[in-house]
Amino acid sequence: MASRKTPLVATSWFPLTVGALTFVAIGVIFEILLRTDVLNRYIIPLPSEVLLAFERIVVEEGVLTRTGVSAFEVLTAGLACVIVGVPLGVLLYRFDIVRRALEDWIAALAAAPIVLAFPLFLVLFGRGSTTVIVIAFAYGLAPVVLKTLEGLIETRRVLINVGKSLNMSQTQMFWKILFPSAIPSIFTGIRLSWTFCVIAVIGVEFLVNLGGLGQLINDLAERYDMPGTYAGIGFVILVSVIFFIILEWIEKWLQPAR
Amino acid sequence: MTSVETKSRAAGKPETGQPVLIIDDVVKTFGDAEEAVTAVDHVSFNVKQGEFVAVIGPSGCGKSTLFNIIGGLLGEYDGNVMIDDERISGPHPAVGMVFQEESTFPWRSVIDNVAFPLELRGVAKSERYDRARHFIGLVGLDGFEKRFPSQLSGGMKQRVSIARTLVSNPRILLMDEPFAALDEQTRLLLGDKITQIQQELKQTTLLITHNLTEAVQLSDRIVVMTYRPGKVKRIADINLQRPRTSDVVGSDAFGHYVAEIWNDLREEASRGMQETEQVARADRRHG
């Protein structure tokens, strides 16, 4: 019997190829529009020049060192969000009065444009990595707290009843049922939080002209090096994509059941 | 079953025929004074060692309330639920509960789900895995030990829950409509599995159900409840041969029992339906 062929669209490499080809097609379209002067070359550089600029920013602009600086800031802020956010979410779940006092404020924190207060942070923490980390922490904290709380609240009643029927203590109930049940929601919070941390770190570095990749983009823009600026932005996107792929792998590894 | 388990079960249990669970004049009312609703009204019956008893009644007859009282999840009630001369006022180690809703832990593999109660008691890993494997085999899930609940069907998940309850060696297995969410064929086959386990372990079992054929297929006695407030309308003996399988469903005697109990249930079910419709009409009138 002849083996059935997997349809092309069902293969694992098909979506990746379509994505890559779409990206290339957009690049080619922009190249044509710019070369035929439909778009202004002084605002948008040629994609071919942007590609060539990648090598320049790696060799001349120390992009790898800058990536290290930004990565350190993101990871420090992100870890701080987890270390502070998860226990705070548990506290909000455990004590109703704390929840009623703080939940709305924390939700408001998630929506507040904290970056606008950067001068205050500069005064408090000086012009260095600490300021960037503290602002990123303030940005990334709320999702971890709120998603931890949500995960604990939404633990299925029947699982709690299983715990009660087995005469579990409160500590056992928390560590064996409530917390594991909340882990997927906590991970969603961490993923959101770290996204916010990346945005905040690059944004503040750009705004204050300080440190890592954000400062590099600022420098290149101020030099009016448009291919370099776009290559810098492209590099940040590339690093972010790799960062979140790694995060997804870790999540899958830690939760084999899902 | 291993000889160790057989001995431990036999040693911990009274002789067959002795009442192990006594429900004596139990009343449970919800709400305050004028708006009080009596869910369970002076209910009395007992379950003997090794016996399979089903409680059947229409929706709203207080079956689940009774399940929660016996399981110790509803602390306060009037009357007595007694196990070993001890009044139930919280979860009792002699009672193992299987819930209507799917209740496996999605983050644990099948074997870790089943071994969970032993883990809580601090049983060594190798021993708890051995015992868990035995009960996984008993519910017919050999080979699925390392799977996670998300990789199992609804019926398989319920079997994991049953194995997890049995691993604690409970003297009374208390089940609340465990097959309610399953299709009829799976329900009949799982009924076979439950009958087989019950016969093999001489497991005292109290099943809460609204399914007539399931109750007759599995039980030695059936407690028929009235619609709200839930009272015992009748206790019927089911004298179908044991060992029993789902083949019994085709027998004349089975049909006779189903018809007889349906006669008792029909009036209650109709009353329940009428009251529900009246409430729905009143709700519609009041907007």
Percent of chain B with pLDDT over 90: 52
pLDDT surpassing 80 at residue B96: yes
Burial pattern A220-232, b for ≥16 Cβ within 10 A else e, equals bbeeebbbbbbbb
**CB B64, CB B80: distance < 8 Å:** no
Mean pLDDT of the region B46-60: 91
How near does any CA of chain B get to the CA of A257, in Å? 5
φ and ψ at residue A142, rounded to 5 degrees: -55, -45
Residue B258 burial (CB count, 10 A): 17
Position B284 scores a pLDDT of 72
Residue A102 CB partners (closer than 8 Å, separation 6+): A92
Mean pLDDT of the region A7-24: 85
The CATH homologous superfamily to which domain B3-94+170-246 belongs is P-loop containing nucleotide triphosphate hydrolases (3.40.50.300)
In this complex, is the C-beta atom of B103 within 8 Å of any C-beta atom belonging to chain A?
yes
Position B10 scores a pLDDT of 40
pLDDT per residue over B191-216, tens digit each? Answer: 888 888 888 888 999 999 988 988 99
Kindly tell me the burial class for residue B234, based on how many C-beta atoms sit within 10 Å of its own C-beta (0-12, 13-18, 19 or more): middle
Rounded distance between C-alpha atoms, residue A230 and residue A150, angstroms: 39
In this complex, is the C-beta atom of A2 within 8 Å of any C-beta atom belonging to chain B?
no
Position B120 scores a pLDDT of 94
In this complex, is the C-beta atom of A165 within 8 Å of any C-beta atom belonging to chain B?
yes
Structural class in CATH, domain A75-214: mainly alpha
How near does any CA of chain B get to the CA of A159, in Å? 6
ipTM (interface pTM)? 0.85
Using pLDDT thresholds of 50, 70 and 90, give the confidence band for residue A3: low
Best to test chain A binding among B100, B105, B121, B148 (most A CBs inside 10 Å): B105
Position B4 scores a pLDDT of 37
What letter represents residue B225's amino acid?
M
Residues of chain B with CATH 3.40.50.300: 3-94+170-246
Cα three-residue angle A177-A178-A182, rounded to 5 degrees: 115
**CB B95, CB B84: distance < 8 Å:** no
Burial pattern A19-49, b for ≥16 Cβ within 10 A else e, equals eeeeeeeeeeebbeebeeeebeeeeebbbeb
Residue length, chain B? Answer: 287
Identify any residues that bridge with B37 across adjacent strands, giving them in sequence order: B30
Tally C-beta pairs within 8 A across A and B: 56
Q: Please state at what angle helix A179-208 crosses helix A213-222, rounded to 10 degrees.
A: 30
Position B16 scores a pLDDT of 59
Residues of chain B in contact with residue A180, where contact means CB-CB under 8 angstroms, are: 105, 107-108
Using pLDDT thresholds of 50, 70 and 90, give the confidence band for residue B35: confident
Which residue in B107, B120, B148 is closest to A180 by CB distance? B107
**CB B74, CB B28: distance < 8 Å:** yes
In this complex, is the C-beta atom of A51 within 8 Å of any C-beta atom belonging to chain B?
no
Name the residue among B173, B235, B222 with its Cα closest to residue B199: B173
Return the domain boundaries, chain A: 75-214
pLDDT surpassing 50 at residue B13: no
How near does any CA of chain B get to the CA of A107, in Å? 29
Tokens representing B132 are: 């868990």
Rounded distance between C-alpha atoms, residue B273 and residue B210, angstroms: 14
What letter represents residue B283's amino acid?
D
What letter represents residue B232's amino acid?
V
pLDDT surpassing 60 at residue B233: yes
CB-CB under 8 Å, B99 with A257: no
